[in-house]
Chain A
């Protein structure tokens, strides 16, 4: 399968500030990719380049199109949510649904209404009178009803309460995602998305610090709660990170076999958040 997004030496500078520093990556079809990085890492700039919202240097192809010069064609196939609630205050729920149905050939009205039925939104309600979470719910209902090949979600659940966040990711997986679709998600609440991700892309200071599928990650990275007597032995294997938890040394290993580590203590799967923190430290 062709790559949905393919970047080669993608670079973007704002004046002297380098936001994205010549990164290359491929995102195949049918994946859910978590693009994870701290604020100012170049995450949002990368997404904006993919969405044709900004100019860039290097090569970038999204669904075989150049997002900057062929944006109008591309927008029929991709959809996105940016990081803040951005629906205009005068928009009514029913007008929003009518409008998107009118301009988007791949919008499914029933689907949107099904998502809206799960919320407290009513057709006559204006964005002005909604809580922040309700605006996000409306936006998500609209976007999830579009049958896009690529969906980009930049902090999609900001302002939503925990119940609805869980519901959203469940809907995303069950009602939206299929093998022909690709989703790119950025979020600060990594723990909420890690179970649905198929791929990880860590970005830091405009560079990619990790690009791997979840299977690869599981094979490569193992966390060990090292028993006190094995600490020296464990350190000799060069853990990429270590911390203490309940008096135990918890160490993270990259590329060390489970058979070797088993002897040192209890093995566990590291969370994406721990992994991220570890790679961040490593880069410093």
Chain B
């Protein structure tokens, strides 16, 4: 119970410290999107609505457009999130040593494990959640504005746009993918936090440089020995250690395991894009995901141990 209260305060602490990255960056992006969307909707009034919008075909197009609108928003917020999480996680345990505030935090009864846990929760759950919530509000505002502008002309859109094929389906998909994201991104976030507990200056650089250097070594060794493991090494070092914070990046897992070996590159990509349901929890049955989780947790415990020995 005591630990939970402490964790609650640690999370608050992270929010105080990272308000700009957690909240303001999302709000700025939402503002920009809304600015363009709403000005677009105003222009739409003149062009689109003067033609006869009542035909089913056009209505379905509109539903698809709303779909795509949400997807584009998702992509924009995801890009923002990847950068903020990278920036947050790589600085999570090094900034406090840089400004020496670690000595203040360590003068309080807060264990290193709990501190690391709070940072993982922020990186893996709070950042994506803030993005999703802002995206959701942005989309709803846009769609209401769209529906309202059509309603003025006597066209009802809401039932179509808010159907399971429309926005709710998209939201459901995003929420269903969320647990996969958390588990999938764990090794990358674990690696970033570990690097941050370890090096003091430029952890962000080392996070990328170390796996890359290891990969280059492995690639040379690969040529020398003549066994083809470069691709696996690349997958583990570059993809799972660096790029797994990208949402839906597990599509690459499907590419490698289901289509990559049998189909040509463009065909395989097409199959992944069209046939794979990325929100499917089937991925929880793969060792790929669980090995990543275990490695991630191990790295986090190591990070806590390293922080333990950091007196200054």
Which chain A residues have a beta carbon within 8 Å of chain B's beta carbons? 48, 51, 53-55, 71-72, 75-76, 79-82, 84, 86-92, 95, 98-100, 102-105, 139, 143
Q: A139 is contacted by which of B6, B9, B104, B311 (Cβ under 8 Å)?
A: B104
B99 touches A86 (CB 8 A): yes
- Comparing B12-20, B51-59, B84-92, the segment that makes contact with chain A is B12-20
- Tell me the nearest residue of chain B to A154, going by C-beta: B103
Does B111 interact with chain A (Cβ within 8 Å)?
A: yes
**B6–A102 contact, CB under 8 A?**
yes
Which 5 A-B pairs give the minimum distances between C-beta atoms? A53-B311, A102-B9, A88-B101, A75-B109, A82-B103
Contact between B99 and A100, CB atoms less than 8 A apart: no
Within the complex, the shortest CB–CB distance from A2 to chain B, in Å, comes to 21
Q: State whether B312 touches A53 (Cβ < 8 A).
A: yes
Partner of A84, one of B100, B109, B111: B100
23 residue pairs of the A-B complex, CB under 8 angstroms, read A54-B311, A71-B308, A72-B109, A75-B107, A75-B110, A80-B107, A82-B100, A82-B107, A86-B103, A86-B104, A87-B104, A88-B96, A88-B101, A98-B9, A100-B108, A102-B5, A102-B6, A102-B9, A103-B9, A103-B109, A103-B110, A104-B108, A105-B109
- B304 shortest CB reach to chain A, Å: 11
Taking the closest CB of chain A, its distance from the CB of B87, in whole angstroms, is 15
How many cross-chain pairs have Cβ atoms below 8 Å apart between A and B?
Answer: 75
B98 shortest CB reach to chain A, Å: 10
Give CA–CA (A54, B12) in the complex, Å: 28
What's the Cα separation between A18 and B50 when bound, in Å? Answer: 86
Q: Most chain-A Cβ atoms within 10 A of its Cβ — which of B9, B10, B12, B102?
A: B9
Contact residues of B between 11 and 36, Cβ < 8 Å to A = 12-13, 16-17
Quick check: is B106 within 8 A (CB to CB) of the other chain? yes
How many angstroms from the CA of A256 to the CA of B99 in the assembled complex?
50
A87 to B12, CA, bound (A): 16
A75 touches B103 (CB 8 A): no
Q: How far is the CB of B60 from chain A (nearest CB, A)?
A: 50
Contact A102 B104 (CB under 8 A): no
Complex Cα–Cα for A71 and B107 (A): 10
Q: Which residue of B lies closest to A72 (CB)?
A: B111
Chain A residues contacting B106 (CB-CB under 8 Å) are 51, 53, 75
A-side contacts of B17, CB under 8 Å: 88, 90
B312 to chain A, nearest CB (A): 7
Q: Is the CB of A105 within 8 A of B104?
A: no
**Interface assignment of B309: CB less than 8 Å from any CB of chain A:** yes
B275 sits at the interface (CB 8 A): no
- The CA-CA distance from A15 to B10 in the complex, in Å, is 35
Measured in the bound complex, the distance between the Cα atoms of B14 and A88 in whole Å is 12
- Report yes or no: A92 in contact with B110, Cβ–Cβ below 8 A: no
Residue of B whose beta carbon sits closest to that of A88: B101
CB distance from B91 to the nearest CB of A (A): 12
Q: A55 — which chain B residues lie within 8 A by C-beta?
A: 309
Closest to B9 in A: A102
Q: Which residues of B contact A105 (CB under 8 A)?
A: 2, 109
Q: How far is the CB of B74 from chain A (nearest CB, A)?
A: 30
Q: Across the interface, which residues of B come within 8 angstroms of A100, CB to CB?
A: 108
Chain A CB within 8 A of B176 CB: no
Q: Shortest Cβ distance from A112 into chain B, in angstroms? A: 14
The answer to the question of B8 belonging to the interface, with a C-beta cut-off of 8 Å to chain A, is: yes
Nearest-CB residue, chain B, relative to A79: B107
A89 touches B99 (CB 8 A): yes
Cβ–Cβ < 8 Å partners of B102 in chain A: 86
- List the B side residues contacting A102 at CB < 8 Å: 5-6, 8-9, 12
